[in-house]
Structure formats: C-alpha cells, structure tokens
Amino acid sequence: MQAEKTMTPTHLPEVVEPRNPGLPLDMDWVRAVQANTSAIERRAGTIAARRSVKKDYQAAWLLKAITMIDLTTLAGDDTENRVRRLCAKAKHPVRGDLLAALGVEDITTGAVCVYHDMIPAAVDALKGTGIPVAAVSTGFPAGLSPYHLRVAEIGESVKAGAREIDIVISRRHVLTGNWQALYDEMREFRAACGEAHVKAILATGELGTLRNVARASLVCMMAGADFIKTSTGKESVNATLPVTLTMIRAIRDFFERTGYRVGYKPAGGISKAKDALTYLALIKEELGDNWLSPHLFRFGASSLLGDIERQLEHHVTGHYSAGYRHGMG
C-alpha cells in the first residue's frame, strides 16, 4: 500500500462522479448473487497481516482517513452545545502544531452525523466550511416507525439543511426475501432525499447471512442508493471485514455492470487507527484508488479520530499521549 506523504484538503470538493440513478429491479441478477462465506472469511483474515505502512506513509494514510470520517454523535443525551463542540472538532480535527510538523496546512472530517433535532445547530456551526451535515433518519435505529412518518422524516431533515441522509432499511424484507418491497422502500426514500445523498444502512449484523448482505446491497444500489452502510452502530455486531468484503464486491459488480460508482461506509466498532488502515487497504485492493475519497468512502465513527490524532502525535514526538488529551469537544 503506497500513499502520498502530504495532503492538504480544506473542504470537500465538488462531486465529480455522476450520481447513481438506480435501475429497474432485476430479480435474475439478485437471485444469482451468492456468497462463499468460508472464502470471504479467509480473504478478510489475510488483509491486516499482509498490509502495513510505516512512518511517513502511515501518517499520510491516517491523515487521509480523517478526511473520510463522518464524525458522529447519536446519544440520547445530545445537546446543541455538544454538537457545536463536535463541529469545532470536525473543522480542526488535528492540533495545529501537529499539522505544521507534518507539513499539512489544514484538513477537515468528511461530515458530521447527528439526529434530526441537532441538524440546525450543526448546520449553523459548520456554516462556510463545506462540511456537510448528515442526519440519521427513517426511524433510526430500528426502522419500525410508521412508514409515512419515516418518509416524512427524510423530508424534514433535508428541509432543515442535511445534505446527506442515513436511512435504515426494513430488515424483515431481507429476512423474508421480499426484494420487491425492499426495492420500493429504498426507491421512495431516495426520492424523498431529493438532492441530498442517501446512505442505506443495512444493519448487517441482523441479516443472518453474507448472501443476504450481498443481495440487500445490490437491491439498494438498484434503487438508487448513493452509499451502502454496514450498521447503525446500535446492533450487537456492526462493521466486520467479511461483511465489508461482501459489500464492496457487490459495489464492484454494480460498477462493472452499470458504470456507476456507489460509496461504502463501515460504521460501528471502528475505533483504532490500525483498523482504519486495514479498511483503507481493503478498499484500495478491491475497488481501487477512485474509492479513496470522501465522496465514495466514509467511516462512521467518533472515537476513531481521537486514536488517529494520538498516533500522529506519536509519529511527530516519539511519545504517546493520554487518550483524554484528544477529546471530541
């Protein structure tokens, strides 16, 4: 895995990839999708052992990872002040002295992800930065509120200023093999988002099999998802490497057949810098450099940023600092 030694993004550039418009549900394609679980697990088990980067290259990759983080707070005790502090961290995720030592002017995170009620505070705090606000929606995390309310919630979040909407699918459609219902639901959610990009959360830990994960990924992309995302972060099992491999291979298959690139977002349980490097290596090997961009890859995380900053400080000073020195706000 190779990387540039410095990166200086100050905000997200304009999207240059054409947006996935979706296509009619192709049940022959869906039924043909299989997943060799043992082979997938073997492949996933090799990536961390075989791929490592050191010193300046590691620092460069960690800086790149920061630009792909959806800095997230989804707690029941969220307040506007907490969200504003999180937004301040999103604007300046790494201390200035560390960036100067690394030869980087400035970077930001990919987005800030919050509940609907916190959108106005986040939009106000990020005004003029180019950092988008992402909102979880459609009855997050279970997705079991009345259907018309889930659709309406999307519209309210877009109206409030969210530029990205993380929706949750109805898991029962996957578990019962009702792919038409999943397609119709995702299609309506996509329409309700309008110009806002939609990330489809599959809650993979609740889908039973990797074949279900692969088929659900494909159906959501057929329905126009801009991103597919592993988890809400509230399930007992969240992002894993086998699930990631399954989903990104579905993305690759979709691109090869349609020419449209769909993004990927692992979320839940990714808290260490070494894990971020593993995920980036897997993306590079399976999808290529085009996906190493905030427009096509995001981490759903909060504590990950603190550990990355801690590793960057060690790179600069040779010493590890206490974790509490790298808080989110």
With cut-offs at 50, 70 and 90, classify the pLDDT of residue 4.
very low
What average pLDDT score do residues 20-30 get? 98
Known active-site residue 229: yes
Q: Which of 265, 275, 284, 307 is catalytic?
A: 265
Of the chain, the end-to-end C-alpha distance in Å amounts to 33
**317 has pLDDT over 70:** yes
Q: Which pTM does this prediction carry? A: 0.93
Q: Which residues pair with 201 in a beta bridge?
A: 168, 229
Structure confidence at residue 8 as a pLDDT band (50, 70, 90): very low
Q: What is the mean pLDDT of residues 143-157?
A: 97
How confident is the prediction for the chain on average, in pLDDT?
92
Per-residue confidence band for 277, with pLDDT thresholds at 50, 70 and 90: very high
Give the architecture (CATH level 2) of 27-315: Alpha-Beta Barrel (3.20)
Taking residues 233-253, what's their average pLDDT? 95
Range name among 9-23, 136-150, 174-188, 228-242 with the lowest pLDDT average: 9-23
What does the pLDDT read at residue 17?
80
Mean pLDDT across the stretch 222-248?
A: 96
Verify whether residue 127 is a known catalytic residue.
no
pLDDT, average across residues 43-66: 87
CA distances from 226 to 18, 263, 311, 323 (A): 10, 6, 32, 34
Query: What's the sign of the alpha-carbon dihedral 175, 177, 181, 183?
Result: positive
* b/e map 111-122, b = 16+ CB within 10 Å: bbbbbbebbebb
265 is catalytic: yes
User: Domain locations in the chain?
Assistant: 27-315
DSSP state for residue 76 in the 8-state scheme: T
**Of 70, 166, 275, 307, which one is the catalytic site residue?**
166
CA–CA distance, 257 with 279 (Å, rounded to integer): 24
Peptide bond preceding 141: is omega within 30 degrees of 0, i.e. cis? yes
Q: Please identify which of the residues 229, 275, 284, 307 carries the catalytic annotation.
A: 229
Residue 11, pLDDT above cutoff 90: no
